[in-house]
């Protein structure tokens, strides 16, 4: 599959597919092994908001972890990929590679059975560090007025060093201050959605705030420190 890199006009043949989902494919990027390409499925191209991706590209969050430790904490788009036909439509983007063999989704670490069976070697201090690093990555996003929106256990990847990388960033809520527009996050997971939003029919119909993210952050920190238990999991069964 050939694409054009927007930043320099270079036509590139992408490598093999390493993952595929409902929106698109993740492919190897042969010119630079530190990057991966996300290419949207043809039937999803009409849903791509090109302006949203451009805003993300020109205003990335400050990734202090990458600067100080060399580990990407937010897998943010670094370049756009265009079709090579005459229209040069945006069909995907480049993002930092997260070494799959070195990371696991956060739920593997807060689930005691998985930690034990997989011999992950995470103690309570490691779980605390994971919570701190997750909070730091979220704070960096909020500093630029971005909102994750879809806070969930599958989009937070954790290294054995307790470093954290947030993925699926193209679903985040993105403000465009120049145009006075907000590109909303269309998805969410009930377990990490605050009560005031639970009855909303479509996430794409309203703006979310950093406080909504913080609810999900609180739930995940509780799960990390309380052996995977959800803070609102209990149901009162008394007579009074």
For 187-226, the DSSP string reads: ---GGGS-GGGTT-S-GGGS---HHHHHHHHHHHHHHHHT
Confidence of residue 138 (pLDDT cuts 50, 70, 90): very high
The reply to whether 53 falls in a domain is yes
Entry pTM = 0.91
122 is in which domain, residue-wise?
A: 100-225
* CATH code of the domain covering residue 28: 3.30.200.20
pLDDT at 233: 84
Q: Starting at the edge strand that comes first in sequence, how are the strands of the sheet with 164-166 ordered?
A: 103-105, 156-159, 164-166
Q: Is 108 a catalytic residue?
A: no
Residues 59, 172, single domain; the answer is no
Residues 86, 189, single domain; the answer is no
Point out which residues pair with 11 in neighbouring strands.
4
Residue scoring higher pLDDT (48 or 96):
96
φ/ψ of residue 228, rounded to 5: 85, -5
Confidence of residue 216 (pLDDT cuts 50, 70, 90): very high
Angle at 211 between CA 206 and CA 214, to 5 degrees: 120
Active-site pick, 49, 63, 108, 150:
150
pLDDT tens-place string over residues 58-107: 999 998 887 667 789 999 999 999 999 877 889 999 999 998 888 999 99
pLDDT at 88: 80
Residues 22, 107, single domain; the answer is no
**Cβ 25 vs Cβ 39: under 8 Å:** yes
DSSP at 203: G
């Amino acid at each position: 599959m050939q694409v054009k890199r927007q930043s320099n006009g270079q036509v590139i043949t992408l490598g093999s597919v390493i993952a595929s989902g409902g929106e698109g494919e993740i492919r190897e990027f042969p010119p630079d092994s530190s990057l991966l390409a996300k290419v949207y499925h043809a039937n999803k191209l009409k849903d791509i908001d090109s302006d949203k991706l451009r805003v993300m590209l020109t205003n990335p969050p400050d990734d202090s972890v990458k600067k100080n430790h060399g580990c990407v904490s937010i897998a943010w788009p670094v370049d756009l990929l265009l079709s090579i036909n005459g229209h040069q439509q945006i069909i995907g983007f480049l993002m930092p590679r997260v070494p799959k063999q070195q990371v696991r989704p956060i739920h593997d670490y807060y689930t005691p059975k998985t930690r034990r069976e997989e011999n992950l070697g995470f103690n309570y201090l490691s779980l605390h560090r994971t919570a701190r690093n997750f909070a730091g990555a979220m704070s960096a996003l909020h500093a630029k007025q971005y909102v994750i929106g879809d806070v969930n256990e599958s989009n937070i990847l954790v290294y054995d060093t307790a470093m954290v990388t947030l993925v699926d960033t193209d679903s985040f809520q993105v403000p465009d201050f120049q145009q006075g527009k907000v590109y909303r996050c269309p998805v969410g997971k009930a377990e990490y959605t605050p009560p005031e939003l639970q009855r909303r029919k479509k996430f794409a119909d309203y703006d979310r705030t950093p406080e909504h993210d913080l609810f999900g952050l609180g739930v995940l920190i509780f799960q990390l420190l309380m052996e995977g238990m959800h803070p609102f999991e209990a149901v009162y069964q008394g007579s009074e």
